[in-house]
Structure 1
Amino acid sequence: MAFRPALGKDYDRLEQDIWVHLGAEAAQVARSLSLPAGNSREIASSMMTVFSLFFGPEVKDEQVYFEGERAVVMVKRCPFLTRDTEMTREPAHLFSRCLAFAITTTEALNPGYTLRFVRSMCMGDRNCEMKIVRKDTLKEKKPSG
């Protein structure tokens, strides 16, 4: 927040770039720890391990697995949301940061997979729900007309 006045309109773009870079670093940490990332289950587990290493033990998650093609991570408690609530701020600004970090980490762990948010606590949902899926299973939306 200290940099926002100095950077002006460039702040949001630069901050997004930082979170993307941090996601790539998270994947590098996972590789250095030999955390697996061969399928959605391994990616979910490795991503949440690195998330805890980077942001502390306050993160509480539950992982649900569906075959090798997709996994769902439910975050029940988030350290970012906790800090934001302590400062009595509106948490919606957190979503773009978390999105950039989570997608970049997932795709850096295994380029064949990506992540989609289904629910987000900072956007008012009860918990966060992230779906990890193989990219080749996503159906492209074709323009109508």
Structure 2
Amino acid sequence: MGKLLLTSTTYLYIEVMGMLNVDDIPAEVKWEIATRSSMGLAMGYSAAMRKFLNEKVAEELDEAVWTEGGKGIGDIASSLGIPTGNAQEIENAWNVIGEIVMPGVEAKVVESNPERVVDRVDKCSTCSQAKEAGFPTESVCRPCRAFNEAAIESLNPNYTMNFNKRMCLGDDYCESVIEKKHGITLEAAPAGYHEEEGD
């Protein structure tokens, strides 16, 4: 007796005697199924919110939920003992952990020094799954940005991530920059920022 398992990239035929047991399924297939299920749950949650709430409120809730998810990435890095002291270490940590929590992303470093790393993503599982589910890819843009930014800042609060290009908005690839946060200077501060109370 055999069982056919469908993954996003392969078909796997497993020979089993009698009933299929979870231990008969290879770890990488279980992992892919779990990841696709979690992403499906997140997208379903997002779609359901849009049925009951106006678009602006749904987007804000979506962004808040994904931000909270990203905040846990620093704890994962810490528990694994992965260093996150500069941009290169942060990118490495996010690459390792990202492969676990969001597999299916194909990225490469295009510029790297201790203070700044530029990544290029040529394949994004979040964008691909949105397309497969019939969601507009723009709907995953804000949550993805929020998740990534929160993840980077949880790895090292002195750094942040910004995007220059986004596949979900029609670009051919995503380009992100991990770099130190810039402090407020006198020139950039809002009017009255440095004034004493009562002046």
TM range (shorter): 0.7 to 0.9
Q: CA deviation at 1:4?
A: 3.3
Cross-structure match for 1:108: 154
Distance 1:31 1:64, change over 3 A: farther
Gaps of 5+ in 2: 1-46, 190-199
> CA separation in 2, counterparts of 1:29 and 1:136?
26
Per-residue deviation, residues 62-85 of structure 1 (Å, max 9, x unmatched):
023432110011111111111122
Instruction: Report how many residues are paired.
Output: 141
Cross-structure match for 1:37: 84
Cross-structure match for 2:177: 131
Alignment of 1:84-123 (within 5 A): 84-123=130-169
Q: CA deviation at 1:97?
A: 0.7
**Percent of residue pairs bearing the same amino acid type:** 28
Does the CA contact (< 8 Å) of 1:41 and 1:65 recur in 2? no
Distance 1:74 1:87, change over 3 A: same
Per-residue deviation, residues 90-127 of structure 1 (Å, max 9, x unmatched):
21111101110111111111111111101111111111
1:19 to 62, 66, 82: 66
* Aligned-partner SS, 1:133: strand
Q: In terms of Rg, which structure is larger?
A: 2
Greater relative contact order (Cα < 8 A, sep 6+): 1
> CA separation in 2, counterparts of 1:5 and 1:104?
27
* Aligned-partner SS, 2:160: strand
* Aligned-partner SS, 1:2: helix
Distance 1:139 1:119, change over 3 A: farther
Distance 1:122 1:139, change over 3 A: farther
Structure richer in helix, relative to its length: 1
TM-score, normalization by structure 2: 0.64
Cross-structure match for 2:36: none
Distance 1:23 1:139, change over 3 A: farther
TM-score, normalization by structure 1: 0.85
Question: Which amino acid in 1 is paired with 2:99?
Answer: S
Distance 1:130 1:86, change over 3 A: same
Q: CA deviation at 1:5?
A: 2.9
Distance 1:54 1:91, change over 3 A: same
